Structure 1
Amino acid sequence: MATSALSLANETAAARMAPHNVEIERQLLGAILVNNETFYRVTDFLEPGHFFIEQHRSIYEKSAQLIRAGKIASPITVKTFFPAEAKIGEVPITQYLLRLAADATTIINAEDYGRTLMDLALRRSLISIGEDMVNVAYDSPIDQTPRHQIEEVERRLFSLAESGRFEGGFGSFSDALTLAIDMAAAAYERDGHLSGISTGLVDMDRQMGGLQPSDLVILAGRPAMGKTSLATNIAFNIAKAYRAEDQPDGTTKTIDGGIVGFFSLEMSSEQLATRILAEQSGVSSSKIRRGDIDEEQFARLAATAQEMRTLPLFIDQSGGLTIGQLAARARRLKRQRGLDVLVIDYLQLLQGSGKRSSDSRVQEITEITTGLKALAKELNVPVLALSQLSRQVEARDDKRPQLADLRESGSIEQDADMVMFVFREEYYLKSRMPKEGTEEFFEWQAQMDQVSGRAEVIIGKQRHGPTGTVNLQFDAEVTRFSSLAPDDHLPERLD
């Protein structure tokens, strides 16, 4: 039964001709051969493979090679690249090229014709993907699960979607100025006067101007410094502040905050939700897990959970993702739900494409950071990626991180628009406690009082502004970062 159904599907597909338009192909090729300037109207997006007739692909390709070499592409010059006895159908190549020139369209229509050919080629590719999907599903190879087939089809579809875009090339400086003024106007009107998306931490926003669209932001630190906690704090603050309004064209525009996609490669979604619940309710996550809470704390947890249910915060807990899989899922989220900020915890748990087994980890990290920066630009959202630091930090007396401490690849520093480090002196000082009652202990206690509950976010690189250090409050019990109260706003001390 399955075999007959497959045969019927193949016969039906064969009976229908794949989408194409030979006349447009002929007229566009003729226009290029008559006026080589026509080529520059379509070269940004039109490729030889977009032509349906194989010989037309060859003519377009050879014409392109001549024009790019600064030579004239005409029926006479192009024919020299074909065998003398070559024919297209029953027509000799020379005669066919002269007919193309005679059928030429005007240069005004060239771009429209080129886009029509590209649309037809995309339709043919869609048909090919659909046929392959049906055939593989019928064959059911042992080594290919349905989930694997779905991911492969998604990968091909997203690849096709990217190749089908017409954006790119040069734009006028006037258009760029308009975008800059629009950005400044939006910053003026937004709460806090930020050009980017607010992190919810006032001092960080003041230093950064918020998270900027299309930026790759690296948040790095040694284990136990609080990287994930800071990332979840920022993600929650952005999702909680989300406000949007419907546009006349039916789309939705984000006014404040944003829709957040969180790739949790290390923790499960349940662990991440527990951490955020602890941060926002003020109940320790360790107490939540042990059930060591009283009635009042449980009521607080329930109220906080109810408030958080509607937040536009989406978590992907899949481990071992490749950069290609992550990009495909981010695109899907943007198309289905919307996306304003992407968070990745953490960068070293991603994998490269695995094209060459001989690639070193440094090359793999380079591919990953380049891919993340390209994804940030493509989706026009800030990408906040967490990163581990090398152990050389621990060998120094001053353990504040530096750019040179970024682990495994200089490409992290190179591709990032901003690099931030989380540092807590309290963590290192606590492990060096001297014997109680000694003079050293009292000195240590005074130092602990100064750094207790404090964290530093060191901005080591920033394309859009100054570097420097932002001091934050850190509540270790619930792993929550918050802005420090200014000294002149602190309550009077009671002696």
Structure 2
Amino acid sequence: MTALPALAEPHDLTADAPPHNLDAEQAFLGALLFDNELYYRVGDWLKGSHFYDPVHGRIYQAAADRIVRGSLADAVVLKTDFERDGGLKEIGGSAYLAVLLESAANSAAAVEYAQLVYDLALRRALIRVSAELAKDATDSSPDTHGRKLIESAEKKLFELAETGGAQKGFVAFKDALADSIEMAAAAYEREGGLSGISSGLKAMDEKLGGLHPSDLIILAGRPSMGKTALATNIAFEVAKSYQYETLADGSRKTTRGGVVGFFSLEMSAEQLATRLIADYTGIPGFMIRRGEIDAAQYEEIRDGVLEIQGLPLYIDDTGGLPIGALTARARRLKRLHGLDLIVVDYLQLVTGSSGKSDSRVQEVSEVTQALKAMAKELSVPVIALSQLSRQVEQREDKKPQLSDLRESGSIEQDADVVMFVYREAYYKEREKPREGTPEYLAWEEEFRAIERHAEVIIGKQRHGPIGTVKLAFDAARTKFSDLAMTDRYDDSIR
């Protein structure tokens, strides 16, 4: 086997020469011209721009273009393509292709040469990013804040690690079609026909098709309606269902459920954990908080904690988090542990990047646009909770609608899905008459009939129908669950 050329030592490079290895580039290109099948082992991650010598980059790209079309790409065929290439003429013209063939590594070693070329390209990119950061850090402008520089650095490093993720530019229609077919195949093969991540609620999954990557999902409701409870239930179910397979490169591919990042800007991590324990054990949360439990329940809680403590659910309870910091932390979580779902509770508590704006509407607009951009960049669904305006309380019919969203223009426009949590029992309970009266008996009968019922009203969905999903709600456990099949749906929004 041909030995890999040693990486150039610092003293072998001139002061301004970035890391590179032309021998490795030649050895790989020569092997590729001999054996076009090599491209299918490196084409997913090695690009023409990764070659230090631009001529090498053009040769690789020309060969790649032919190979993906099913054509032969050897020295004879490429000779015609490069006879008029000025850069190639400078280093010997088309005869240089013969030099590459003489330098060719065998197929087994060629992939390692390609990895070396790729690694050196990443190092050069890191040097460029470092230079940009150093320049920005020495900027004495009063508008340049250290925290913003850190967030900018994290963003650039994330994009580099993801090899272009959010900055990938145009996508060919054939590639988009391939992604669409892959999603359809996943839905076909997955039980229940879901193309996204299951929420743990069958009725909701059947309406939404699961939680889809890149979607911004707004979950809105008046206080005490249960929007935090529903978001927590979904996050918990996704984390509990997490399964993955390990790929050849050691990375993990999620096959079910997912890793969840939960930004709890209102509740503390401890309060959120208490809700999850109540959900898992069935012991009411208020009893856990007050210590109104017996020895058997305590043992049940302790056993439950041991069973769920390893779930891939990560909670950040920093209050008043700026949107830039939130995005940076999400990127970091994805790099360290993986990430399949983000929950933000709630978006009106997220501040703009500058911390000040001309109007609240403008600031919320910035936040919702950034959340949508984050969903696309990280390729995960983002569930963002939102408050509703008080005008709901002024109507006789208190079922929420899109116009009830605070700063509704920006939220409704940026969201892919808008859902409202509504519990008629919340309002019915406030109409409670004096006990012992005939009115109380009639009220009690009506209240008991709706006490454990809830609705999720889908007011907007880019990729599917709107309508209402009926769920069961256990207030003691702050737990949403499915109703019987015949009671699940109401396709009218009244």
* Common fold: TM-score over 0.5: yes
Q: Judge which range, 449-458 or 216-225, deviates more.
A: 449-458
Q: How does 1:138-149 map to 2 (within 5 A)?
A: none
CA deviations over 1:31-63 (Å, ceiling 9, x no partner): xxxxxxxxxxxxxx99xxxxxxxxxxxxxxxxx
1:204-226 deviation line (CA, Å, top 9, x unaligned): 11111110111000000000000
Residue 101 of structure 1, CA deviation: 13
1:158 aligns to 2:160 (yes or no): no
Report how far residue 310 of structure 1 moved. 1.3
Would you say the 8 A contact 2:187–2:195 is kept in 1?
A: yes
Structure 1 segment 242-257 matched on structure 2, within 5 A: 242-257=242-257
Change (3 A) 1:401 1:120: same
Q: Which amino acid aligns with 1:129?
A: L
Q: SS of the counterpart of 1:410?
A: helix
What letter matches 1:430 in structure 2? E
In the alignment, which residue of structure 1 is the partner of 2:423?
424
Aligned to 1:400, the other structure's residue is in SS state coil
Alignment correspondent of 1:287: 287
Deviation (angstroms), 1:178 = 1.6
Deviations for 1:216-246, whole angstroms, at most 9, x for unmatched residues? 0000000000011001100000000111011
Residues 427-468 of structure 1 deviation map (CA, whole Å, 9 limit, x = unaligned): 100110123454433432332132111110000000111101
- 1:177 & 1:428 partners in 2: Cα distance? 48
Q: How does 1:315-464 map to 2 (within 5 A)?
A: 315-354=315-354, 357-464=356-463
SS at match of 2:250: coil
Give me the identity figure in percent: 55
Q: Is the 8 A contact 1:19 1:120 kept in 2?
A: no
Note if contact 2:221-2:386 (Cα within 8 Å) is conserved in structure 1: yes
C-alpha separation in 1, matches of 2:370 and 2:135: 30
Taking a change above 3 Å as real, the CA distance of residues 337 and 347 of structure 1, as seen in their structure-2 partners, is: same
* Per-residue deviation, 1:340: 0.4
Whether the aligned pair in 2 keeps the contact of 1:366 and 1:409 (CA below 8 Å) is: no
Q: Taking structure 1 as reference, are residues 350 and 358 closer, same or farther at Cα in structure 2, changes over 3 Å only?
A: closer
Separation in 1, partners of 2:483, 2:129 = 56
Task: Give the superposition deviation at 1:175.
Answer: 1.8
Query: What's the CA shift string for 1:277-323, capped at 9, x where partnerless?
Result: 11211112221122110112112111211111111101111111111
The match for 2:265 is 265
Structure 2 residue aligned with 1:54:
none
C-alpha displacement of 1:150: 7.5
Is the Cα contact below 8 Å between 2:136 and 2:149 reproduced in 1? Answer: no
Give distance in 2, aligned partners of 1:19 and 1:359: 47
Separation in 2 of the partners of 1:330 and 1:358? Answer: 24
Q: Secondary structure at the match of 2:427?
A: helix
Counterpart for residue 129 of structure 1: 133
- 8 A contact 2:346–2:385 mirrored in 1: yes
Shift of 1:155: 3.3
Residue 92 of structure 1 is matched in structure 2 by none
SS of the equivalent of 2:292 reads coil
The CA distance in 1 between the partners of 2:484 and 2:396, in whole Å, is 29
Q: Distance in 1 between matches of 2:132 and 2:365?
A: 33
Structure 2 unaligned runs (5+)?
Answer: 1-9, 23-47, 50-85, 98-116, 489-494
1 CA distance for matches of 2:129 and 2:370? 25
1:5-20 aligned within 5 A = 17-19=15-17
Task: Report the AA paired with residue 178 of structure 2.
Answer: T
**1:19 CA displacement:** 4.4
Extract structure 1 runs of 4+ deviating beyond 6 A.
Answer: 99-106, 116-119, 130-133
SS in 1 for 2:293: coil
Please say which of residues 293-302 and 123-132 is displaced more in the overlay.
123-132
CA distance in structure 2 between the aligned counterparts of 1:102 and 1:181, rounded to whole angstroms: 44
Note the 1:9-88 alignment, pairs <5 A: 17-19=15-17
- Tell me, yes or no, if the aligned pair for 2:243 and 2:254 is still in contact at 8 Å: yes
Gaps of 5+ in 1: 1-11, 25-44, 47-98, 137-143, 490-495
SS at match of 2:421: strand
Q: Cα deviations across residues 139-171 of structure 1 (Å, max 9, x unaligned)? A: xxxxx9xxx968743532423543772852333
Q: Which one-letter code corresponds to 2:206 in the other structure?
A: R
Q: 1:323 to 1:104 in 2, by over 3 A?
A: farther
What per-residue deviation string (whole Å, max 9, x for no partner) do you get for residues 3-23 of structure 1?
A: xxxxxxxxx9xx9834459xx
Q: Tell me: CA distance 1:410–1:219, structure 2 relative to 1, closer, same or farther (3 Å).
A: same
Give the aligned residue type for 2:305. A
**Correspondence for 2:67:** none
Question: CA distance change for structure 1 residues 413 and 291 in 2, over 3 Å: closer, same or farther?
Answer: same
Q: Aligned residue for 1:467?
A: 466
The change in CA–CA distance for 1:443 and 1:358 in structure 2 (over 3 A counts) is same
Residues 471 and 480 in structure 2, CA contact (< 8 A), matched pair in contact too: yes
Q: Residue 160 and residue 103 in structure 1: after superposition, are their counterparts in 2 closer, same or farther (change >3 A)?
A: farther
What SS does the aligned partner of 2:267 have?
coil
Q: Deviations over 1:48-105 (max 9, x none)?
A: xxxxxxxxxxxxxxxxxxxxxxxxxxxxxxxxxxxxxxxxxxxxxxxxxxx9999699
Q: Distance in 2 between matches of 1:221 and 1:303?
A: 34
Change (3 A) 1:294 1:126: same
CA distance 1:101–1:208, shift in 2 (3 Å): closer
The alignment yields a C-alpha RMSD, in angstroms, of 3.7
Change (3 A) 1:434 1:207: same
In structure 2, what is the Cα distance between the partners aligned to 1:358 and 1:236?
Answer: 35
